[in-house]
Structure 1
Amino acid sequence: MRFHFKSIIHILGMLLIINSVFMLTALPFSIYFQDMQHWAILKAFAITMGAGSLAFFFTRQTERVVKKRDVYIVVTFGWILMALSATLPYLFSGAIHNLTDAFFECISGYTTTGASILKDIEAVAPSILYWRSLTQWIGGMGIIVLTVAILPLIGVGGMQLFVAEAPGISADKLRPRITDTAKRLWVIYIGLTLTETVLLRVFGMTWYDAFNHSLTTMATGGFSTKNASIAHFPNPLIQYTIIIFMFFAGTNFSMMYFGFQGQLKKVWNNDEFRAYFLSIVGLSTVFGLYVGYQLYGDIELGFRDVAFQLVSLITTTGFVSADYTSWAPFLTILCFILLFVGGSAGSTAGGIKTVRHLILAKNGWLDLKRQLHPSAVIPVRLNGKAVSGEITYTVLAFVIIFLITFVIGAMLLAMTGLDLMTAMGASATSLGNVGPGIGSVGPVDNFAWLPPMAKWICSSLMLLGRLELFTVLLLFTPFFWRGN
């Protein structure tokens, strides 16, 4: 099969141009805060814009054809190029001094993982911290989805790009035209970001902190402007606000669209939303009461800390309000398990996704019935409709490959010198795009101390997890390159 490399380069060039424009938005922050980073930002912008413009210009007259195999290359290398170009503000400003650490921070941003190598976040210039938050916001919905709304202007269809990037089992279109879908997703995304910013400001944050935390909340990314993350803001109103918006960010955006239209019954009848909502409420109530009564002696604080951390882990946001590894061993194990859960499909969350767990659970339960009635045809049903065997097998394959990748990642990290607990925690949190893990990469630690090879392994796991494995892994198969 012939690859359309000129079309691929054309789209990658456009992605770099878009990234450079986002990069330039850090300049007003540098001027306002007088942090002396305007030249670093301008140099990073010029190089990124120049590289993107050259790629775009020299391929402008090529036939704009993008086939399915081309899409996988665009999505994977688009994410890598975005992360590489995003390192420039860090390197030019001196906030990070080497490519390994800068790339780790950037890929963690674009994949909305939230793992960080910065030892003193509050010492970093405000404009660079804003850029750090913005990388998560861009990656949250996906730069590819954003581009889908623009691609028709250059004659390239967007549906294939949207399906390859969009998280979940499939890309659920809210309207027949994919560009309309992308625009509506971004209207919801921007609207919720601005709403949270206003609320956080009203409840006591500065406009700067409120905006940055809103960017990373809606991205389910978890980068903070403070060393202590959300624990720096003990105000209950701030923490409850972030809990609510983390929940929104981990919800299928299609369901939010229907909810905003007043179709609440349709939202509640969605099996995945009910499972997602009830699991959060149930776990937060049971374990919140335990921590509040047994450990804190303060029911409200215990419930708030547990609810915050459980929602943060399930939605893969990664904000920290308390050290969950200090509560009790069984709660540490629970938090480790939650690294594999993930939010809803069609959200900005990472992880395996609630709908996949739901399908596997339903199929497992029905298998018990099939043991008694081997001749009966008992399909798995989701939202009242039968799920095809093909989808069930695909879900099973995804979960198996996810777990195998986690094991391989943990083994590779252990080979770099990490202890078992840390290797498992770093592999799980990187692949699930969560941020904090267990061991020496827990909620009160970061990834700065990891050896360089371990950082590259974690970076690779972040990319695999963000693009849901298959998009990247296909590039390493011989049939991808020689297929018809």
Structure 2
Amino acid sequence: MNIRMILRIVGIVLLIEGTGMVPSFIVSLIYAQGDAIAFLISILITAASGFLLYRIPVRNGKFYARDGFAAVALGWTAISLFGSMPFVISGAIPSFIDAFFETVSGFTTTGSSILKDIESLPKGILFWRSFTNFMGGMGVLVFTLAVIPSIAPGSIHIMNAESTGPSKEKLVPKLKETVRILYTIYVVMATCQIILLLIAGIPLYDSLVHAFASAGTGGFSNRNLSVGAYGNVYAEVIITVFTILFGVNFGLYYRLINGDIRGFFKDEEFRFYIGTILVSITLITIDLYTHRFFTLGQSLRHSSFQVGTIITTTGFSTTDFNLWPTFSKIILVMLMLFGACAGSTGGGIKCIRILLLLKTARREIARIIHPRAVHTVKVSNRVIDENTVNKTLSYFFIYMSLFFISVLLISLDGKDLVTSATAVLATLSNIGPGFEAVGPTGNFSDFSAFSKLVFSFDMLAGRLEFYPIFVLISPEAWKRGNI
């Protein structure tokens, strides 16, 4: 491991995080609710720590894949630890473990919370809480690659470790330009959503908070009843559309900008993603209407919003879907597993992996029927190499293994099975709400400190797709011969 280079990168990340706290500090000054001093102290400590790490001299210029993975995992852990300070220092969340949980949930764009009365917190704190969704959406270290000319000779390893999906590709030859393109699209889309929410009658502060959370598909709201507090159908439609848009692979938007409209709509993962959304909305609408939960129009309104925010792992709510019929809740659980597209800000297993698993299963059946024929797995008319297929199978095995281990560990708290299972699913897939005690009207506050640490690990592991975290905690990677 190139420890000096890794620590230097973490230092840069902390400097960026300290800068990222400044808008929240300004908001806290504007509203003057007593949290400004907490941000000032947090900014100074974070920036000073980052500067000291950045000044560590680097003697070895070599930077391998394991270094990139370790830097990403350590960087995300560091920003979560330092990002907890405003909550603790201000007294908004006195318990450090609770504050760490909330911060990890923010940066990983999970949206799970331990807060019971969100609206009682200072505006600056709630702004920071939502802004962590925005910072974590596209990736903090990927942003680092855009603003720093050359932080390491193997910077592609950082992007590979932090970006989501079974395979990553540069949009243009230069990595820095690729990252800038992605972030430009990200910021422009978020800005458009803010403007539309203002037109819909949502106050500026609230529009910023919900746009940040939508862009990062994090789901942190400044209202106890989430988006449902407004009762504004126009705002709901805007948020539904934009969360779905943020769940699309950003590489496809680059194609669209360059005039490849046909390539955009022919992408098989995109079609699977949109198809799943449309089918799910239709089935849940029918289920809600036939069980007389809502009128037909209301059923379509609530099903569209919840399907859009659940499959993108945003987690906003307009109604208590915990009370919906079992059929509808099973569909929502399925969507929690699927998640959004690879290369988006959404979490979950990702639609491309679900596609690959389905196509791999079909190939194995075809091999049994026609053992002498040559069978390949294709997505969007491209043959997928066996290495990618094997990585997908390994990812799914790790996901399910960690899911069952986590459920076993938090079962020590004595919660019911549905609460325990969906709480793990909600954190591992970076969704936010689950069912029963952790449903849209509940939270994670009643879990033990041990369970909250398990959830925090799951959120980080799920957001980074396991391997960076496992590299960081692997003794083999830190042996003297590898340093």
Give the TM-score normalised by the residue count of structure 2. 0.97
- TM-superposition CA deviations, 1:209-237 (whole Å, max 9, x none): 00110001010000001000011122111
Deviation at residue 154 of structure 1 after TM alignment: 4.6
- TM-superposition CA deviations, 1:115-147 (whole Å, max 9, x none): 011111111111111100111111100001001
Instruction: Find the aligned partners of 1:377 and 1:454 in 2 and give their Cα distance.
Output: 48
In the other structure, the counterpart of 1:354 is: 351
Instruction: Find the aligned partners of 1:267 and 1:202 in 2 and give their Cα distance.
Output: 29
In the other structure, the counterpart of 1:30 is: 28
Amino acid at match of 1:19: E
Task: Specify every segment of 5 or more residues in structure 2 that has no aligned partner in the other structure, as ranges.
Answer: none
Of residues 285, 288, 296 in structure 1, which corresponds to 2:285?
288
Of residues 225, 243, 248 in structure 2, which corresponds to 1:246?
243
Contact persistence 2:5–2:152 (CA under 8 A): no
Contact persistence 1:148–1:159 (CA under 8 A): no
What pairs up with 1:317-466 in 2 under 5 angstroms?
317-466=314-463
Q: Which of 334-343 and 307-316 deviates more?
A: 334-343
Matched, 1:14 2:8: no
Instruction: Find the aligned partners of 2:218 and 2:295 in 1 and give their Cα distance.
Output: 29
Distance 1:153 1:376, change over 3 A: closer
Amino acid at match of 2:40: L
Contact persistence 1:226–1:232 (CA under 8 A): yes
Contact persistence 1:233–1:239 (CA under 8 A): no
Of residues 216, 220, 225 in structure 1, which corresponds to 2:222?
225
Instruction: Find the aligned partners of 1:173 and 1:199 in 2 and give their Cα distance.
Output: 31
SS of residue paired to 1:234: coil
Of residues 192, 195, 199 in structure 1, which corresponds to 2:192?
195
SS of residue paired to 1:176: coil
Instruction: Find the aligned partners of 1:202 and 1:45 in 2 and give their Cα distance.
Output: 34
In the other structure, the counterpart of 2:171 is: 174
- TM-superposition CA deviations, 1:372-398 (whole Å, max 9, x none): 101111101111011112211111111
SS of residue paired to 1:333: helix
Task: Specify every segment of 5 or more residues in structure 1 that has no aligned partner in the other structure, as ranges.
Answer: none
How many pairs align?
Answer: 481
Of residues 25, 48, 51 in structure 2, which corresponds to 1:50?
48
In the other structure, the counterpart of 1:214 is: 211
Deviation at residue 156 of structure 1 after TM alignment: 4.2
Matched, 1:298 2:295: yes
Distance 1:370 1:451, change over 3 A: same
Q: Which of 237-246 and 153-162 deviates more?
A: 153-162
- TM-superposition CA deviations, 1:445-482 (whole Å, max 9, x none): 01111111111110010011001012212334444334
Amino acid at match of 1:141: M
Deviation at residue 403 of structure 1 after TM alignment: 0.7
SS of residue paired to 2:344: coil
Matched, 1:473 2:476: no
Instruction: Find the aligned partners of 2:47 and 2:148 in 1 and give their Cα distance.
Output: 18
Higher relative contact order (CA 8 A, sep 6+): 2
Deviation at residue 153 of structure 1 after TM alignment: 4.3
Instruction: Find the aligned partners of 1:297 and 1:42 in 2 and give their Cα distance.
Output: 48
Instruction: Find the aligned partners of 1:112 and 1:305 in 2 and give their Cα distance.
Output: 22
Instruction: Find the aligned partners of 1:213 and 1:20 in 2 and give their Cα distance.
Output: 22
Of residues 207, 220, 232 in structure 2, which corresponds to 1:235?
232
In the other structure, the counterpart of 2:101 is: 104
Instruction: Find the aligned partners of 2:211 and 2:172 in 1 and give their Cα distance.
Output: 27
Deviation at residue 274 of structure 1 after TM alignment: 0.4
Q: Which of 67-76 and 396-405 deviates more?
A: 67-76
Amino acid at match of 1:83: S
What pairs up with 1:14-163 in 2 under 5 angstroms?
14-57=12-55, 59-60=56-57, 62-154=59-151, 156-163=153-160
Amino acid at match of 1:183: R
Contact persistence 1:336–1:438 (CA under 8 A): no
**Percent same amino acid among aligned pairs?**
34
Amino acid at match of 2:434: G
In the other structure, the counterpart of 1:312 is: 309
Deviation at residue 297 of structure 1 after TM alignment: 4.3
Contact persistence 1:173–1:181 (CA under 8 A): yes
